[in-house]
């Protein structure tokens, strides 16, 4: 039987009177690409915030590699192997591409502040590993030749890839991508799709929220659909495209 890397059991979160996520069950198979789709306000980002422990569920359970993660701190989640990118670009424009990736790796350093000041052999070893992991992540996203450029000088598509590189450098097992293709032109989307496939083939599990249906349908193994916080469908891209509940939720807009 396939291993589930992430399991949501009847997960609910309420904000005052609003149930943003309502009794959602979801199992994500290790090594797969899963998309989460649904109309605006359906609860997609809230699920990402629940999985990365920015929010704690009102009820229900979230398990990562069999371990309950409800209520843990976000930096612990990163250490356990979950990384994410955000809807809007969060780069340090005045820093180099390489440094932008390295700042994401603080969670991995074991020597504390004093260690960093004293710069003992352990710190030097850790620094070498950080640079190595950052360069490997840049390589994967085909940005290593730009490591010394300022992040703000990269074209938009490359800035988005840089954010993925930063997440990858934390050496995750599960990578959450929040609207990775937003604002990209068709060529940039093609390149991104190729890279996401490459990352998945290396063994990572990908969980993505995306509005571009063509992108979702050609990339995902399975798709979960939310509407008003509730899961209304789950299945392969072909199943989702012909699901009446999904078509109704999108009010006749093409789900293709
Ligand atoms: N911290 C919060 N406090 C109050 N309401 C919230 C909070 N976070 C999310 N919500 C509400 O929960 C609902 C789901 O929002 P969410 O951002 O998860 O939707 P989404 O599916 O990601 O939408 P979009 O596609 O527009 O990004 C919305 O009604 C939103 O206003």
The β-bridge relationship of strands 59-64 and 67-68 is antiparallel
Q: Are residues 68 and 194 in the same domain?
A: yes
Quote the pLDDT of residue 127.
77
The β-bridge relationship of strands 205-209 and 174-178 is parallel
Q: Are residues 70 and 186 in the same domain?
A: yes
Alpha carbons 206 and 166: distance in angstroms, whole number: 15
**Alpha carbon nearest to ligand 1 atom 14, residue:** 43
CATH number of the domain at 223, please. Answer: 3.40.50.300
Q: Are residues 56 and 118 in the same domain?
A: no
Write the ipTM. 0.96
CA of residue 46 to ligand 1 center, whole Å? 6
What are the residues facing 256 on neighbouring strands?
Answer: none
Task: Give the structural domain span for 221.
Answer: 1-81+172-255
**Alpha carbon nearest to ligand 1 atom 26, residue:** 40
Most ligand 1 atoms within 8 A of CB, residue of 16, 17, 18 to mutate:
18
Alpha carbons 158 and 165: distance in angstroms, whole number: 10
Q: Are residues 178 and 120 in the same domain?
A: no
Ligand 1 atom having least distance to the Cα of 15: 4
pLDDT digits (tens), the chain, 256 positions: 569 999 999 999 999 999 999 999 999 999 999 999 999 999 999 999 999 999 999 999 999 999 999 999 999 999 999 999 988 778 899 999 999 999 877 655 555 555 556 666 676 777 788 898 999 999 999 999 999 999 999 999 999 999 999 999 999 999 999 999 999 999 999 999 999 999 999 999 999 999 999 999 999 999 999 999 999 999 999 999 999 999 988 865 655 5
Ligand 1 atom having least distance to the Cα of 211: 25
Distance of alpha carbon 253 from the chain centroid:
26
Q: Are residues 181 and 138 in the same domain?
A: no
């Amino acid at each position: 039987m396939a291993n589930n890397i992430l399991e949501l059991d009847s997960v609910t979160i309420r904000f005052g009177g609003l149930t943003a996520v309502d009794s959602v069950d979801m199992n994500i198979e290790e090594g797969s690409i899963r998309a989460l789709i649904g109309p605006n306000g359906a609860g997609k980002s809230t699920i990402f915030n629940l999985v990365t422990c920015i929010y704690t569920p009102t009820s229900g359970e979230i398990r990562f590699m069999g371990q309950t993660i409800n209520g843990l701190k976000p930096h612990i989640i990163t250490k356990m192997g979950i990384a994410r990118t955000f809807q809007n670009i969060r780069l340090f424009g005045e820093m180099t591409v390489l440094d932008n990736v390295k700042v994401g790796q603080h969670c991995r350093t074991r020597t504390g502040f004093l260690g960093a000041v004293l710069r003992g052999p352990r710190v030097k070893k850790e620094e070498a590993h950080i640079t190595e992991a950052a360069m490997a992540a840049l390589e994967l996203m085909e940005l290593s030749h730009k490591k010394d450029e300022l992040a703000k000088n990269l074209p938009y598509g490359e800035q988005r890839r840089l954010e993925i590189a930063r997440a990858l450098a934390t050496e995750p097992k599960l990578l959450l991508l929040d609207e990775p293709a937003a604002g990209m032109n068709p060529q940039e989307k093609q390149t991104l799709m190729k890279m996401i496939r490459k990352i998945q083939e290396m063994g990572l599990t990908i969980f993505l929220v995306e509005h571009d249906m063509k992108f979702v349908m050609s990339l995902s193994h399975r798709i979960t659909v939310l509407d008003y916080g509730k899961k209304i469908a789950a299945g392969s891209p072909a199943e989702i495209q012909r699901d009446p509940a999904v078509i109704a939720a999108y009010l006749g807009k093409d789900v293709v």
